[in-house]
Structures are given as C-alpha cells and as structure tokens.
Amino acid sequence: MKKTGICFLLLLFAATSAAYPLESKLFNMRNKIFQGSQEIKPLLAGSRDAAVLTSMFDSCIIAVSQMDAYFGMLGIFETIPKEQLTRTAVDFLENWLNQVKKTNDLNISFLKGINIPVESSTRDQAQKLIGYFGELNNWIDKELVKLSIVKKTAMAQPPAPGGTKKR
C-alpha cells in the first residue's frame, strides 16, 4: 500500500512539475506565431498577394487567440484542489487542445495548398508559419500526454472523506 502511495505522489509531482516548462514552450510558440503575424502586416502594404497575406494574418491571430483561451482555462483548472479534480475538467482542456490542433492542421493545409503564383516574401512567410503551426502541434501533443497523466492520477485518488454532498 505504501509503495502505491509513494508511486502516486511521485507521478503527481512529475506531472505538475513538468507543467511549467511545457506551458513556457507553448507560450513561446504562441509568441512566435504572434510575431509571425506582425511580420505579415508590413508585407500587406505593397504586395499583390493581399488576399493570401490577409488569410495568413487571420490564421495567426486565431491561433494566438486559441492559445490565450487555453492559458485562461489552464489558470482556472489550476485553482481546482487536487482532491476535487474531475475527469470532466481535464477533458475540457484536452478537447480544446485537440480543436487547436485541428485548426493548425487546416492552416498548414491552406498554406501548403497555395497554388497561385505568389511573391517570394509571401512564400517565405508561409513556410515559416507552416513550421510554427507544426511545432505548436508537437508541443500540444506533449501537453496532451501530460494531461492524460494528470487525468489518470486524479482518477486514482480515493474520494474525499465524507464524500460529496448531494443537493
């Protein structure tokens, strides 16, 4: 019994201590994508690729907004005492990240599928964004692994003494 408790505490510690570096990586990717959007703005002024650049800019802003929403949800999530953590709370975070990944995949498909002639600066920016969205998806995969560990450890906890009150 003691071994199980110690293993549980070690796993919980590993899952929660790993959160900060990973969140930092996700936040850094959010900032890279935001910076990418800022690099697109000056290109709009003199480019004949205004429609493509506008779509690229919008894709960046949507990705940044989705990550900002995730960080907000994560802040709320982290206020839940561990003994009151539910599978549903973790599911919301996982579902949101999976939606962000789907959006990023659509953005990558759009950027790879540009089949009209575009200026080299537009093409270069598209390649940069493909890399950013792909890298963000890789970090999201790592975050999803971390969340699955949190879910498993939360579900392994015994119920709080006295149970929960029903209304």
Convert the pLDDT of each residue in 75-114 to its tens digit.
998 898 888 888 888 999 999 999 999 999 999 999 999 9
**For position 37, what pLDDT does the model report?**
97
Locus of tokens 């599928």: 113
Q: Is the pLDDT of residue 2 over 60?
A: no
Cα angle 60, 98, 39 (rounded to 5 degrees) comes to 10
Domain range spanning residue 133? 20-156
Kindly state whether residue 166 falls inside one of the protein's structural domains.
no
CATH of the domain at 55: 1.20.140.40
Does 12 fall in a domain? no
pTM value is 0.78
| DSSP type of residue 157 | S
pLDDT tier for residue 165 given thresholds of 50, 70 and 90: very low
pLDDT band at 23 (very low <50, low <70, confident <90, very high): low
Across the range 70-79, mean pLDDT stands at 92
Count up the domains in the chain and report the number.
1
CA distance 65 to 132: 15
Q: Is residue 52 part of a domain?
A: yes
